[in-house]
Amino acid sequence: MTGKQKKEARKRILDSAISLFARKVYAAVGVREIAQEAEVNISMISYYFGGKAGILKTIINEFHNQYYRVITDAIDDSKPPEECLRLIISRIISFVRINTEITMVAFNTLPLDIPGITDIQAGRVIEMLEGINSLCRRFDMDPNDPFPISIIGPAMLSTILSHFRLKPVQKNIFGFEFDHAFYERYARTIETLFLYGITGIAAQSKKAKGDKNETDC
């Protein structure tokens, strides 16, 4: 097997595992199923990753490497903190749109007590929290007090991820078209929710309706 073929086989294993873990959850997927999906010999999984847990470790690290950059690249001390938060939310949504499956795998496995995985997840989350310390301070939040961020962070992520989990249901109920215009409004609504609360969303909707009425006149 050539170097290119080995690289392709490793990528197929990763891609297949991500897809299976996202659809069926980690515990329900076996090594043999991953090998069959990737069209490789089962021994290749041991060779490249040492087993199913090794695949998950690679997935988690690859996800967090990308996700960390999404968050930290949006933080600019020369910009108002509100603008940085808006940019973070917008970038997270764009990232999840493109990388839905790997995002779901990473976050779905967060609460699971998987040997060798829990410490990796905790370490990568701590790294991300340290990356947003400066922004927390600019919102008058003490980075050394984990209580507020332990509520706000998961609440924001859960709000964003719930849409991607429920897209088929939302389309059937509301008839949404998940196009660029939808995600622009989606991002603005979540930004407003976390900056100004439900009253801010109500004011935003009222203004949008007023602007539309003026345009129609």
pLDDT tens digits for range 58-114: 999 999 999 999 999 999 999 999 999 999 999 999 999 999 999 999 999 988 888
| Mean per-residue pLDDT, 186-205 | 86
Query: Model confidence at 115, in pLDDT bands (50, 70, 90)?
Result: confident
Task: Round to whole Å and give the CA distance between 159 and 137.
Answer: 23
Q: What's the pLDDT score for residue 100?
A: 96
Question: Which residue reads 């340290």 in tokens?
Answer: 130
Residues 70-81 have pLDDT tens digits of 999 999 999 999
Indicate the pLDDT class of residue 215, thresholds 50, 70 and 90. low
- In this prediction, residue 212 has a pLDDT band, given cuts at 50, 70 and 90, of low
Residue 190 near residue 96 (C-beta atoms within 8 A)? no
Write the CB contacts of 16 (distance below 8 Å, at least 6 apart in sequence): 34, 37, 38
In the predicted model, what is the mean pLDDT of the chain? 90
pLDDT tens by residue, 142-181: 988 889 888 998 899 999 999 999 998 999 999 999 999 9
| Residue located via tokens 């939040």 | 141
Q: What is the full DSSP assignment across the chain?
A: --HHHHHHHHHHHHHHHHHHHHHH-GGG--HHHHHHHHTS-HHHHHHHHSSHHHHHHHHHHHHHHHHHHHHHTT--TTS-HHHHHHHHHHHHHHHHHHSHHHHHHHHHTTTS--TTTHHHHHHHHHHHHHHTHHHHHHTT--TT-HHHHHHHHHHHHHHHHHHHHSHHHHHHHH----SHHHHHHHHHHHHHHHHHHHHHHHHHHHHHHHHHHHHH-
CB 142 within 8 A of CB 162: no
The whole-number pLDDT of residue 146 equals 86
- Please say whether the beta carbons of 48 and 10 come within 8 A: yes
Residue 117 contacts residue 56 (beta carbons within 8 Å): yes
First to last CA, the chain: 69
Q: What average pLDDT does this structure show over 177-205?
A: 89
- Comparing 99-103, 137-141, 178-182, 195-199, the range with the smallest average pLDDT is 195-199
- Indicate if the pLDDT at residue 4 is higher than 60: no
State pTM to two decimals. Answer: 0.86
